[in-house]
Amino acid sequence: MSKEIVVPFGPQHPVLPEPIHLDLVIEDEKVKEALPSIGYIHRGLETLVEKREYPEYVYIAERICGICSFIHGSTYCQGVEAVMNVEIPERAEFLRVIWSEYSRMHSHLLWLGLFADGMGFENLFMDAWRLREFILDELEATTGGRVIQGTAKVGGVRRDIDSEKLDNMAAGLEGIRGEFSAMADVFLNDSSVKSRLCGVGMLSKEDAYELGAVGPVIRGSGVASDVRMDGYAAYDRLHFKPVVEESCDCYARCAVRVKELFTSIDLVKEAVQKIPDGPIEVKVTGKPDGEYFARAEQPRGEVVHYVKGNGTRNLARHRVRTPTITNIPPMVKMLEGCDLADVPVIVLSIDPCIGCCER
């Protein structure tokens, strides 16, 4: 006679890089229902906006997440700049794109390694992280930091990249494209990988849209949703087409991230070709008074930074809606009816960042 039991999954689990917690209602090794618990590592970052002046708060915004830190910082700056009607130099916009795409490659390679580890492919894990070192080295060489860059500021960026270094970066990415292709071939075509991913964690196009999925999760379900198409920073001056997959499963979400590595390479190379000379920042004076929703495309999907100024040096409000909190309802839908053994792969397929999620 079948009987339902509740199995806790996380916050500590050998497969999880993040402390996500789920209560899984199980019957005959099938997940009937998944109940998420949020708040395990709540940090209260939004309270700090009342204690730090708006130019300093960018450092706190960057620390919302260590993987997509630059995009958090630059999106916060976009919001404050919009409130204060600050137009940043064109060169700064291109530099923000370049560092954002390096951050995307860094994040995707980290995830691909963890995903391979979750499936038991240790050599594939090491290969993805070996390639990630090249990206981190370039971030360190141009910003001074491998993880927290600290280069975004209200009014532009803090550092410039000279022409010779930009050309070397573009050449280096073209040189590593072949190694990316070899790794991608395993993720996309290896029969063992496909046996673990194809048909697992199904999320239909309709469910992805109605449940508010973002990033590779919704693009893996056939929806061409990408905030970069709105043209913030310098994206409106670059050729860009979102990567979309139609199979709606874990394989599709993996394929989106793999192919986005090559999209990022192309975007960086084009940005290097088109970046204009000129200043990298403008002097910002005054105090923000007003409110604005700034949006950007993080590696995990759309992030929203809401900023509200009250005419003082300290913002009245800063609220962040991160991709992970948006992708949890779709993840719960994916888990319904799956095998218990597939839970780790499905959870990892949304690339959960609980530090982002709980702020």
Which residues are part of a known binding site for Ni(2+)? 65, 68, 353
DSSP tag of 203: -
Spatial separation of the C-alpha atoms in residues 58 and 315, rounded to whole Å: 12
| Binding-site entries for Mg(2+) | 46, 320
| Binding-site entries | 46, 65, 68, 320, 353, 356
Angle between the N-to-C axes of helices 90-119 and 69-83, in degrees from 0 to 180, rounded to the nearest 10: 150
Half-sphere exposure of 231 (CA within 13 A, CB side): 3
| Binding-site entries for Fe cation | 68, 356
Spatial separation of the C-alpha atoms in residues 294 and 308, rounded to whole Å: 11
Residue 207 buriedness (CB in 10 A; 0-12 / 13-18 / 19+) = middle
Spatial separation of the C-alpha atoms in residues 136 and 129, rounded to whole Å: 10
Geometric angle at alpha carbon 217, from 212 and 221, rounded to 5°? 90
Q: Please give the structure tokens belonging to residue 309.
A: 């100024």
